[in-house]
Amino acid sequence: MRRLVLTLCLLLAAACATAGRPRPLPDEPETKAVLDVLEAYRRALEAKDMEGLLRLVSREYLDDLGTPESDDDIDYDALPQKLARDFEKVTALRVDLQVLRMRFDDEKRHATVDYRYDVRFQLSMPSGQKWHNALDVNRMELKREGTTWKITRGL
């Protein structure tokens, strides 16, 4: 019995060990196009380029920020003010993104990207400049609009 429990624990540990690892992405035009949007997003963030970010975002953008309350939701019209507030405090920014998983709907009109981000940023504080680090996983949703992919959620 003890051996069975140990074997099951080892199998479970092995299965969980790959859960957070990136999966191979299919070599398809849609995959490359979505990866190009993520790279443009990363570059625009580092440059604090609000106009560049807004060009990547669909007018249908809506993010509930993971809460049930609607008073903190961000839509396309509220995004410029939010970005301006966020960028105002940041004096330097370095962003690394690692795609963990990318999925498309059957018609290849919508994509969901799970990615790990590692962000180092310097904030201007009354006490001086201070560096911070944020490391987490996020989900971005995109929609194909004509021939381009636009972000609909998850900035």
| Percent of the chain surpassing pLDDT 70 | 84
CATH class of the structural domain 25-153:
alpha beta
Nearest-angstrom CA–CA distance, 119 and 95 = 5
Domain residue extents for the chain: 25-153
- Which range (7-16, 70-79, 111-120) has the least confidence? 7-16
Helical segments of the chain, H only? 2-17, 29-47, 50-56, 79-89
Neighbours of 49 (CB within 10 A): 15
pTM: 0.80
pLDDT in tens, 82-124: 999 989 989 999 999 999 999 999 899 999 999 999 999 999 8
